[in-house]
Amino acid sequence: MIHTWSSLISTLFLLLLCITGLPLIFHHEIDELLGYDPKPEIAQPGAVKRSIDEIARTALANDPGRVLQYILWDKDEPNTVIAFTNTKADGDPDAATLRAYDAHTAKPLGSVGGGPMLIFLKLHVDMFAGQPGKLFLGAMGFLFLVAIISGVVLYWPFTRRLSFGTLRDKSRRIAWFDWHNLLGAITIAWALVVGATGVINTLAEVMLNRWKATELADMVKPYAGKPPPVHLASLDATLEKARKIAPDMNVSFVAFPGTPFTSSHHFAVFMRGHTPLTSRLLKPVLLDGETGEVSDARDLPVYLKALLVSQPLHFGDYGGMPLKIIWALLDVMTIVVIGSGLYLWIVKRRKHRSHAIAGQPSLQPSE
């Protein structure tokens, strides 16, 4: 009963998530192929990187009338600087423009993201329905977890008489029933991890707002009531001071005052480590927007660390191309489990209606 209904309610949305998620596993490669992932020019030997202040000025000149929200450094592309501009510091995320700039020449290299993969991403994340859409898909993901766990309970009565991996060929229905059980059983751990981390990701905004209301509010207490900075400090000087606080880390991105990742008065420089794990565990350093002096630096709370670590476990982008291919195949196996589950339910319903086959034991339990 639980297995049937938790699955049925979420089936269509889970199929949507699995199908849109499939190309998203390779979004980096696809973006590169379609020209949405600009590459830096080959730097001359001995070339010196331009100042970030210069790149920031170029970015603002490129998008007149807009403001800078974030400047970001891709871990795998140290010669590119990515600038986010928007209509205002806390503007609609969908209105943000991402452009890449060459770190050595400050030349614009083109816009980042966009294209067909952005449509897949929006469908996958919120179905173009903003935060409510995101939370709704989170609820569907939760039903997916319920369906998996209730499936484990049902696995016992159905397979206890069969050797593991038995695939009978008696009828189409039994064949699909055995495939449903087998593929479901061997993908449980992966599906639970990807499902649970997906649900956690839908709560990103909620967690960020909580962090801002508690920890961040506490960190910027001395600045309460102060107006936003009029003249921003030099970015290069600000970044240098942030690096001194965490000398064994690199800058992941800097959030400009008033953006969702910081206070109205501070730059927040988010530092990352070097290993696959520590490069996800960002450490924010808050710096005065006017003077560039360090105000505070604290590790993120556990729930935000959990969010950051859950992201690679959802995307499958942390183990090279072979892991991405395995991720895609497991996704296809999950589509088969969901599709065969739907098929089995339809067949069973049809049978119940017609009462055609009498005397044959039902595959579904009397729940």
Partner 1 sequence: MTAARKSRSSVNGWTVYGGPLLIGVLSIAGLLSALLSEGPGRYFSWLAVGTPVALAAWFFVRRKRA
- The footprint of partner 1 (CB under 8 A) covers 152, 155-156, 159-170, 182-183, 185-190, 193, 275-277, 309, 312-313, 318-320, 322-323, 326-327, 329-330, 333
Instruction: Rank residues 126 and 178 by Cβ distance to partner 1 and give the closer one.
Output: 178
C-alpha span between 267 and 288 (Å, rounded): 6
Give the 3-state secondary structure of residue 269: strand
Instruction: Rank residues 115 and 312 by Cβ distance to partner 1 and give the closer one.
Output: 312
Shortest Å distance, C-beta 155 to partner 1? 7
Give the 3-state secondary structure of residue 358: coil
C-alpha span between 213 and 207 (Å, rounded): 10
Instruction: Rank residues 323 and 342 by Cβ distance to partner 1 and give the closer one.
Output: 323
188-202 and 130-159 are packed helices; what angle lies between their axes, rounded to 10 degrees? 160
- DSSP for residue 136: H
Instruction: Rank residues 329 and 363 by Cβ distance to partner 1 and give the closer one.
Output: 329
Instruction: Rank residues 168 and 352 by Cβ distance to partner 1 and give the closer one.
Output: 168
* Alpha helices per DSSP H over 316-362: 320-354
Instruction: Rank residues 5 and 155 by Cβ distance to partner 1 and give the closer one.
Output: 155
Instruction: Rank residues 286 and 330 by Cβ distance to partner 1 and give the closer one.
Output: 330
Shortest Å distance, C-beta 348 to partner 1? 21
Instruction: Rank residues 174 and 207 by Cβ distance to partner 1 and give the closer one.
Output: 174
CA distance readout (Å), 197 to 210, 248, 303, 309: 19, 28, 12, 9
In 10 A of CB 105, how many CB atoms? 18
Question: With the CA atoms of 77, 307, 136 and 86 taken in that order, what torsion angle do they form, in degrees rounded to the nearest 10?
Answer: -40
Shortest Å distance, C-beta 282 to partner 1? 15
Helix (H) or strand (E) holding 15: helix 2-25
Shortest Å distance, C-beta 336 to partner 1? 9
**Residue 20, both tokens:** 């849109």
Shortest Å distance, C-beta 189 to partner 1? 4
Shortest Å distance, C-beta 29 to partner 1? 18
If you compute the radius of gyration of the chain from its CA atoms, what whole number of angstroms results?
25
Shortest Å distance, C-beta 325 to partner 1? 9
108-111 β-sheet, strand order: 108-111, 97-102, 80-86, 67-72, 250-255, 266-272, 283-288, 294-297
Instruction: Rank residues 38 and 184 by Cβ distance to partner 1 and give the closer one.
Output: 184
- DSSP for residue 221: G
Shortest Å distance, C-beta 201 to partner 1? 16
Phi/psi for 80 (5° steps) reads: -120, 140
Shortest Å distance, C-beta 241 to partner 1? 30
Instruction: Rank residues 160 and 221 by Cβ distance to partner 1 and give the closer one.
Output: 160
Shortest Å distance, C-beta 169 to partner 1? 4
C-alpha span between 355 and 352 (Å, rounded): 5
Q: ∠ CA 174-175-176 to the nearest 5 degrees? A: 90
What distance, in Å, lies between the first and last C-alpha atoms of the chain?
A: 6
